[in-house]
């Protein structure tokens, strides 16, 4: 069974694409220059095109069009380059050769993750201790633990062909699996905790607003107006809104105010 596979370490964890690892490692060097980063990115034509698309997107509205990688890196900044490149190359993880049913599930998961990432980017803006690009990355990987479940479940048709049963397995397991994946990818602790923390919908934590809080609210908003169980909750009693010092209605206004950037981020990720 699936649970025995997990206990026996038979799940195959996704690996971050090599180009993302290379760029992240390069930018983590405090002595790296924009020229070095631009040179590294220039070896990949598709990444070069995506970076220019980002630099010329509505995220930087009102600025002149750029046509060189070096100029794009200078405009975007090294931290955002690191996270944006990680985000745009991750879609490959959601495109394995699987059965039509699992492939469709992967596509739905990617679109949901991209939407959470875009909403998280907008929601993080008012909080100076948070970075919108980190919130975006956290949103994109919040359900990463679902990937190895979907990959493995094809060997268990009694689960794969039963949507409700499959969802139960995902709900039970994806948080802890996601934490293990992000730890293996050497992501910072504040992002690792998002993998299982965002499922603690009634989490009441002290201290400053963190990425778990942002992703929790962003995730809720993706289900607004649907028949999902999270949409049916009384959001006004959830501790996370009090911590953000926002009512659910005010959180909608925050997203509305950031709609241009949110649309730009979602457009970049959904078409990655």
What is the pLDDT tens value at each position of the chain, 272 positions in all?
566 666 566 678 899 888 888 889 999 999 999 999 999 998 888 889 999 999 999 889 889 999 999 999 999 999 999 999 999 889 989 987 888 888 999 999 999 999 999 999 999 999 999 999 999 999 999 999 999 999 988 888 888 888 899 999 999 999 999 999 999 999 999 999 999 999 899 988 888 999 999 999 999 999 999 999 999 999 999 999 999 999 999 999 999 999 999 999 999 998 76
| Residues 83 and 74 sit within 8 Å (Cβ to Cβ) | no
Signed CA dihedral, 166, 105, 23, 18: sign only: positive
Give the CB-side neighbour count of residue 156, counting CA atoms within 13 A: 17
DSSP designation for 92 = G
Q: How many domains does the chain have?
A: 1
d(CA 73, CA 243): 35
Q: Is 207 left (phi over 0), alpha (psi -120 to 50) or beta?
A: left
SS (H, E, C) 236-254: HHCHHHHHCCCCHHHHHHH
DSSP designation for 29 = S
DSSP designation for 10 = -
For 135-175, give the DSSP string.
HHHHHHHTTTTHHHHHHHHTT-HHHHT-HHHHHHHHHHHHH
- Report the predicted TM-score, pTM, of the whole model to 2 decimal places: 0.92
Structural domain that includes position 85: 2-270
Residue among 221, 239, 254 at smallest CA distance from 125: 254
Take residue 1 and report the two structure tokens written for it.
């069974």
Take residue 103 and report the two structure tokens written for it.
């492939």
The CATH code of the domain that includes 165 is 1.10.3210.10
């Amino acid at each position: 069974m699936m649970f025995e596979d997990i206990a026996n370490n038979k799940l195959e964890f996704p690996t971050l694409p090599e180009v993302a690892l290379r760029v992240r490692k390069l930018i983590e060097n405090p002595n790296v220059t924009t020229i070095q980063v631009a040179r590294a990115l220039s070896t990949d034509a598709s990444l070069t095109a995506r970076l220019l698309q980002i630099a010329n997107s509505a995220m930087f509205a009102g600025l002149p069009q750029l046509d060189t990688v070096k100029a794009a890196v200078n405009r975007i900044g090294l931290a955002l380059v690191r996270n944006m490149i990680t985000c745009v190359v991750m879609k490959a993880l959601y495109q394995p050769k699987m059965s039509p049913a699992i492939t469709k599930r992967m596509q739905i998961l990617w679109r949901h993750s991209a939407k959470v990432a875009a909403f998280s980017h907008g929601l993080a803006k008012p909080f100076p201790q948070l970075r919108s690009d980190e919130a975006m990355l956290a949103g994109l990987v919040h359900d990463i633990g679902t990937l190895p479940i979907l990959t493995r479940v094809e060997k268990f048709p009694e689960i794969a062909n039963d949507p409700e049963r499959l969802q139960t397995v995902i709900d039970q397991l994806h948080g802890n699996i996601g934490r293990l994946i992000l730890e293996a990818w050497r992501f910072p602790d504040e992002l690792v905790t998002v993998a299982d923390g965002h499922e603690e919908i009634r989490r009441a934590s002290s201290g400053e607003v963190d990425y778990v809080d942002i992703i929790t609210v962003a995730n809720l908003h993706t289900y607004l107006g649907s028949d999902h169980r999270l949409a049916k909750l009384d959001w006004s009693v959830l501790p996370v809104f009090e911590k953000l010092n926002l009512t659910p209605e005010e959180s909608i206004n925050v997203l509305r105010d950031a709609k241009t950037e949110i649309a730009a981020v979602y457009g970049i990720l959904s078409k990655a």
